[in-house]
Amino acid sequence: MKIVLRKESNVPFYQQIYEQIVQRIHGGMIVDGDALPSLRTMADDLKISVLTVRKAYKYLETKGYVYIQPGKGVYIRGKRDTSRSIHAPYDWQHMKAVNVIRSQYIINRHKKYYDFSQAILYPRLLPNPFLSGEMQKILDKDKMMLATYGPVQGDEELRIEISKYLKDYQRLTADPAHLLITSGAQQGIDLIAQTLLKPGDTVIVESPCYGAAIDVFVNKGIHVIPVELDEQGIRADLVDEVCQKNNPVLLYVNPAFHNPTGTLMSERRRKELIELAEFYHFFIIEDDSFGEIYFNDIELPAPIKHFDKNGHVIYLKGFSKTLAPGLRIAALVAEGPVFDWLYAAKALMDIGSPLITQKAILPFLRTERMKNHLEKLRTALQIRRDATIEALAPLTDILHFQIPQGGFNLWISLPDSMNSFALLKKANEVDVSFLPGTACFVHESKHEYMRISYSMLNDQDLIVGLQKLREIIFDFQK
């Protein structure tokens, strides 16, 4: 079996092996009962570690393509229809495929009741009745609103209110004329990538990183360089080293309760990144989706954008996480020619975000409702964080994690002997899901991780789900 590894690819080696074997199964080149090469043989042929091959085979087993007989080998499992009449019409599409193996939305496509995989809020913590009532009032007052496009830049009233909000809550002065409303922070990331990047350009990201941001860059043919974090955020000294050898166009960071680790970037580190951006002339995407969710009344540093004097930082403030995921509202702040470029790209992308959803959150931002809502959110999520840590306390000799000071997530280091995908498969059997750490790395990680989002479930289901997960981990260690 000839497996070809592309070392220049951002897809980890074990995933490349997995994909090529699956293609052979679907193409009828290997069939039910065929044996795959031994771990040692495959490792020697490809000049990689046995651990990487083992991970590929375990992933194939997790997906049901093979079964492993200890001491004997790895064999193709099950009957698969490989007739040309079924597969031939769409075979050509594999040549156009984007990287979806790592996507958190593919990994946990089938929803589980005890869902720890999504960093979104339990619906009853959101102001849904108020917002739905406001939308109905808007339609009753202006039934023609649905018959027109919203402004490309976004509703002017909303931009004015968000400008006030950023000054009050983030210590960030932003002219409403320099705000662009997007359909969530995710669209903002994609919009920036589409505007500023071309295949072969270099982007620096945190490692680990928000997986959907990685996918945006990878699937546009961008050279993505991961830089590790410490307790203060992405390491500025390593960013400097990368800049000396490359010419990055962008640095993507999530400084306020980083997704997935929960790290809060220090003010010193924020200033260091600005200095590097000024010296090497690159943009910084500052993704701020969790900045309001802090615990124990800690004092947050000002956003990186606060220290930006020359338009190096494109700031993204998402409201979906804290206000209403279904409304898909975020604001992008940028100055200089790049704002006009982003505006033009937004016009081509969707001709403007829906107007009714923008109008719906205006009353919330204009009153004390937002302040009261955020205070209640912080209390509710701190209780959930504490309950999660308490539930996992009996596993501290197995699992390792830092207690986050805010945000929605707990980032957990697993024993290297524990495969996160195999653990997820066992968890799924008892209706539990989480996010394997693989989704958050550009390349294959040396260690195994998992992300638990404690924000999605109610108090009771959170405890029950964590008890189930704890039992699975205990049994997995036996």
Q: What is the CATH number of the domain that holds 163?
A: 3.40.640.10
**Residue appearing with tokens 């771990």:** 39
Quote the tokens at residue 411. Answer: 């980032």
Instruction: Note whether residue 5 is domain-resident.
Output: no
Range with top average pLDDT, 6-10, 32-36, 287-291, 369-373: 287-291
CA distance linking residue 153 with residue 104, whole number of Å: 30
Query: What pLDDT does 84 receive?
Result: 40
Domain harbouring 40, CATH code: 1.10.10.10
Query: What pLDDT does 32 receive?
Result: 84
Instruction: Note whether residue 8 is domain-resident.
Output: no
CA distance linking residue 36 with residue 54, whole number of Å: 12
Domain end point (choices 345, 367, 389): 367
Q: Which CA distances in Å does 162 have to 52, 178, 190?
A: 48, 11, 21
Query: What pLDDT does 108 receive?
Result: 74
Query: What pLDDT does 78 receive?
Result: 57
Query: What pLDDT does 104 receive?
Result: 66
Query: In which band, very low, low, confident or very high, does the pLDDT at 445 lie, cut at 50, 70 and 90?
Result: confident
Instruction: Note whether residue 157 is domain-resident.
Output: yes
Is residue 277 within 8 A of residue 284, CB to CB? The reply is: yes
Are 178 and 311 found together in one domain?
yes
Are 206 and 136 found together in one domain?
yes
Are 267 and 410 found together in one domain?
no
Which amino acid makes up residue 118? Q
Are 149 and 214 found together in one domain?
yes
Domain end point (choices 96, 114, 143): 96
At residue 238, does pLDDT exceed 60? yes
Are 414 and 304 found together in one domain?
no
Residue 289, sorted as left (phi over 0), alpha (psi -120 to 50) or beta, turns out to be alpha
336-358 burial, b if ≥16 CB within 10 A, otherwise e?
Answer: eebbebbbebbeebeebbbbbbb
Query: In which band, very low, low, confident or very high, does the pLDDT at 424 lie, cut at 50, 70 and 90?
Result: very high
Which of these ranges, 18-22, 274-278, 312-316, 455-459, has the smallest mean pLDDT? 18-22
Instruction: Note whether residue 1 is domain-resident.
Output: no
- State the residue range of the domain holding 25: 13-96
Pairing of strands 283-288, 250-253: parallel
Average pLDDT (73-98) is 57
Quote the tokens at residue 440. Answer: 């958050």
What is the total count of domains within the chain? 3
Instruction: Note whether residue 449 is domain-resident.
Output: yes
Are 215 and 283 found together in one domain?
yes
Query: What pLDDT does 80 receive?
Result: 44
Query: In which band, very low, low, confident or very high, does the pLDDT at 195 lie, cut at 50, 70 and 90?
Result: very high
Query: What pLDDT does 159 receive?
Result: 97
More confident residue, 4 or 422: 422
Are 115 and 214 found together in one domain?
no
Are 256 and 214 found together in one domain?
yes
Q: What percent of the chain has pLDDT over 70?
A: 93
CA distance linking residue 35 with residue 72, whole number of Å: 10
Domain end point (choices 322, 338, 367): 367
E strand or H helix at 414: strand 409-414
At residue 449, does pLDDT exceed 90? yes
Nearest to 368 by CA among 140, 130, 179, 136: 130
Instruction: Note whether residue 214 is domain-resident.
Output: yes
Are 174 and 276 found together in one domain?
yes
More confident residue, 115 or 31: 115
Are 186 and 257 found together in one domain?
yes
Query: What pLDDT does 410 receive?
Result: 98
At residue 473, does pLDDT exceed 80? yes
At 383-412, the pLDDT tens digits run: 999 999 999 999 999 999 999 999 999 999
Query: What pLDDT does 81 receive?
Result: 42
Query: What pLDDT does 23 receive?
Result: 74
DSSP assigned state of 302: P
Are 447 and 424 found together in one domain?
yes
Domain harbouring 433, CATH code: 3.90.1150.10
Instruction: Note whether residue 450 is domain-resident.
Output: yes
Is residue 447 within 8 A of residue 369, CB to CB? The reply is: no
β-bridge mates for residue 182, sequence order: 330
At 166-177, the pLDDT tens digits run: 999 999 999 999
Q: Give the list of residues 6+ apart from residue 90 with CB closer than 8 angstroms, or none.
A: none
At residue 101, does pLDDT exceed 90? no
Instruction: Note whether residue 159 is domain-resident.
Output: yes
At residue 27, does pLDDT exceed 90? no
Nearest to 361 by CA among 400, 397, 407, 329: 329
Are 221 and 362 found together in one domain?
yes
β-bridge mates for residue 277, sequence order: none
Which of these ranges, 44-48, 326-330, 436-440, has the smallest mean pLDDT? 326-330
At 117-170, the pLDDT tens digits run: 999 999 899 888 888 888 888 888 887 777 777 899 999 999 999 999 999 999
Is residue 233 within 8 A of residue 258, CB to CB? The reply is: yes
Average pLDDT of the residues of the chain? 89
Largest distance between two CA atoms of the chain = 73
Which of these ranges, 26-30, 55-59, 124-128, 212-216, has the smallest mean pLDDT? 26-30
Query: What pLDDT does 79 receive?
Result: 43
